[in-house]
Amino acid sequence: MSRVLITGSAAGLGREAARLLVGAGHEVVLHARDEGRTRAALAAVPGAAAALPGDLASIAQTTELAHRANESGPFDAVIHNAAIGYREPRRIETEDGLAHVFQVNVLAPYLLTALVRRPDRLIFLSSGLHRAGYPDLYDLQWEQRRWNGYQAYADAKLFDAVLAAAVARRWPDVLSNSVDPGWVKTKMGGPTAPGEIGPAAETQAWLAVSDDSLAFRSGDHFHHRQLWHSRAAVSDHVVQDGLFEACHGLTGHALVTNSPRELLIKGGYVVV
């Protein structure tokens, strides 16, 4: 049995992934924006162990969510599922003065990864639209550019894939991958989307717990349990390091590169 935390699991793909994992006998901790939604999440996923509140549009609340997650015990896997879609008609600024789409979709998973006790596996939800994203880091908060909700979302999903690859590079003892679930019938995807929610949630659940050899890869991009092509920018170390530096500057928290599973012995490191 694995213990899995899923952000944004009150509805949509997060809730479906939670149902799949609970049904397979795993311990699942849900997450939702506030207390009311956590109660709804627990009611919608019978058998879930708990649900933690925290608004990912707030650095303070995301930090508190990380503390609550750590207090609940270690996780074998974390699925960074929560996201804002592409329909925001204008740039919405959060309490931290940041672009809403960027803060929820990119900064929050970065901050949780930096603060939550390191699991064995990390899964970041990306999108096929990441191929339309701009890897340029000069205006992450959309303060200079004219707002474009579609582009802001595509950029964020590109950066989610970048985060997954960057974490895999810095933490070789953690399996870190990104997932393109496809365009599916969710609140975000809309009723005309061609894909069904069930198959779209399977890959992230599979990556979180599977013993299949393919699920033990790291730094890759997946779609429907298969390796999937991603933009070259995803594996670009300059883009990875630049995004990490930007997120560090915004949150004050860096991802420590060395593994906590390393012990200093006679001047050298031994992995245990």
pLDDT at 272: 31
Q: What is the pTM of this model?
A: 0.92
Could you list the active site residues?
Answer: 153, 157
pLDDT at 188: 63
Place of tokens 């339309």: 132
Q: In terms of C-beta density within 10 A (0-12 exposed, 13-18 middle, 19 or more buried), how is residue 80 classed?
A: buried
Q: What is the total count of domains within the chain?
A: 1
Closest to 147 in 3D by CA, of 85, 89, 105: 89
Percentage of residues in the chain having pLDDT higher than 90: 84
Range of the domain at 36: 3-271
Give the 3-state DSSP-derived string for 52-112, with helices as H, strands as E and coil as C: EECCCCCHHHHHHHHHHHHHHCCCCEEEECCCCCCCCCCCCECCCCCEHHHHHHHHHHHHH
Question: Contact 251/59 with Cβ under 8 angstroms?
Answer: yes
pLDDT digits (tens, 9 = 90+) for 116-168: 999 999 999 999 999 999 999 999 999 999 999 999 999 999 999 999 999 99
More confident residue, 111 or 198: 111
Residue 232 maps to which CATH number? 3.40.50.720
What integer is the mean pLDDT of 206-227? 97
pLDDT digits (tens, 9 = 90+) for 72-97: 999 999 999 999 988 899 999 999 99
Sign of the C-alpha dihedral computed for residues 230, 236, 238 and 242 taken in this order: positive
